Structure 1
C-alpha cells in the first residue's frame, strides 16, 4: 500500500461529499502565530467562508504565521476587526449563530449541541480565553471534555476538533 499524492490524491478527495454547513472562524486575541497559521490551514481544510482575526491576534504577513500556514493565508478569505463582538453582531444579521469554544457555566460538550446550518465558531486567547464582552453576544457555548490531568489544549487543536464536528454533525431537519 502506498500513499496517495498529486493528482491521484486530488481525485480521491473530490469523491468525498462536502458538508452543507456554512462555517466562519473568529479568532479573538490569539497571539501565537503558530496557532493562527494552523487556523488558516484548518480553515482551508474545512473550506470555511472566512477567518476573522480580532484584537491582538497575529496577522499575515507575520513570517512564522506564513511558514506554518504554508500559503493558506493567501487562499482563505480573511479579515481583521478590532472587536470580536462587532464581528459576531454583524454575522448574526446575516443569519449566523455564534458558538464560543469556551468553558462557562452554560457550556455543553461539543458533541451534544444542536447545530444550525450557519455558524461562526469563536476561539480565544491562549491563556485568557474569550472575553466577557464577546461571551455576552454569543448564542451557544461548547467545550471539549478533558479526560486526562490537563485542563486545556492548544487553540488550533481545539479549533480543528470542533470545526470537523460542526461540519459533520447531523443537520436539523
Structure 2
C-alpha cells in the first residue's frame, strides 16, 4: 500500500483530518482535537492540497460539488449505499428509506443506516443529508450538532 499522508483542516465546526495517498483521498473525518497535528509538509501530495482547497471553498459557501479523487473501502453493499448518497443534492435531505428504495432494496433500511454510519468520506459523500422519515435529525458520526450546522450551512448557500 502507498504511504498514507494526513493533513488537518480547521473548519467552523472542528478539525477535519484528511488522509490519502499520492493518488486519492481515503478518509475525511472530524476529530475531537483542539489543535492541528498534521500540517502541510514538503511531501504532502497534491490531492490532499486539492481536497483541502475544495473543503475550504465548501465551508465558504462557494463550492457545492467535489471533484478530487477518492477511494472507498467497504463491502459491495456499503459502496452501493455510499454511491446512492451522492445522489442527494446539495441543501436537500433524504431518509434511510429513500436510499433503500434507490438501491432497489426497500427492506434494507437498517443496513442502509449501518452503511451510512461507516462512511469515511465525510461531507463529500453526504451522509449528513440523511434525516429520519419523520423529518428529525438522526445519528451522525461527527455529532448531531455538526449535522445540523452542515444542513443549515447548505440551506444558506444553495443556489
Q: TM-score, normalised by structure 1?
A: 0.28
Larger RCO of the pair (alpha carbons < 8 Å, separation 6+): 1
Q: TM-score, normalised by structure 2?
A: 0.30
